[in-house]
Amino acid sequence: MYRAVAIVLVTCILYSCHSEDVIIPKPRMFPKIEFPERRVVSFVNEGCPYELEFPDYAQMEPDSTYFEEVAPNPCWVNLHIPALNGTLHFSYYEIGGREDFDRLVEDAFKLTGKHQIKADYVEEERVQNGAGVEGFVFRVKGPSASPLQFYLTDSTAHFIRGALYFNNRVRPDSMAPVYSFVEEDVYRMIASFRWTEGSAN
């Protein structure tokens, strides 16, 4: 009997040695991202009442893609980021009075709120830079088309809204390093932002 048991055990061991290898899926990997070097350049648009500094890996251009129409204001500009396949849209408005200001602020919150349909949540942060510029930054967390939005104003004459978009599929995990990289530069832009004596007419 012992001999029979021994034969069975040896057979099992030999069979297990020749069984097919178990396939283990590889962990999910993301491509390595080569971030561009940062060098700051100044943006001054003659006739527009604001100036700021932005990284030279991006390109500031007039907004010419407003629903295939002319932008409502000549001081609307886009900061294109070719290396990271993104664009930061700047929309400038003149404030015509208190009601106008309240409407612009309300619209900024509403437009950001539309992204909460797919987002996990939105972080709101009040910002000011000591040069008469104040506003809010909205960090949209989760699978949102626009991970970062903001508005800046002097509360009496000028209002500008910014919205960051990337031209690729929304993957929060893989895009997180890119969001973080660009977010740092957005905060630098806000810190450098100034209202000037120019006119948007």
pLDDT band at 145 (very low <50, low <70, confident <90, very high): confident
CB atoms near residue 9 (< 10 Å)? 10
Q: Say if 31 falls within a structural domain.
A: no
Q: Say if 51 falls within a structural domain.
A: yes
H/E/C letters for each residue in 165-186? Answer: EECCCCCHHHHHHHHHHHHHHH
Beta-ladder partners of 148 = 139, 164
Tokens of 3: 């001999």
Q: What is the pLDDT of residues 61-102, one digit of tens each?
A: 988 766 566 778 889 999 999 999 999 999 999 999 999 999
Q: Say if 143 falls within a structural domain.
A: yes
Asked if residue 181 has pLDDT above 90, the reply is yes
CB atoms near residue 10 (< 10 Å)? 10
First to last CA, the chain: 103
Q: Say if 58 falls within a structural domain.
A: yes
Q: Say if 52 falls within a structural domain.
A: yes
For the chain, how many structural domains are there in total?
1
Q: Say if 25 falls within a structural domain.
A: no
Beta strand pairing call for 158-166 and 194-195 = unpaired
Phi, psi dihedral angles at 151 (to 5 degrees): -140, 150
Q: Say if 131 falls within a structural domain.
A: yes
77: enclosing H helix or E strand = strand 77-81
As a whole-number percent, the residues of the chain with pLDDT over 70 amount to 75
Q: What is the CATH number of the domain that holds 163?
A: 3.40.1000
Q: What is the pLDDT of residues 15-73, one digit of tens each?
A: 555 545 556 655 554 556 788 888 999 999 888 999 999 999 999 998 876 656 677 88
Query: How does the average pLDDT of the chain come out, rounded?
Result: 83
Residue numbers of the domain that contains 121: 40-195
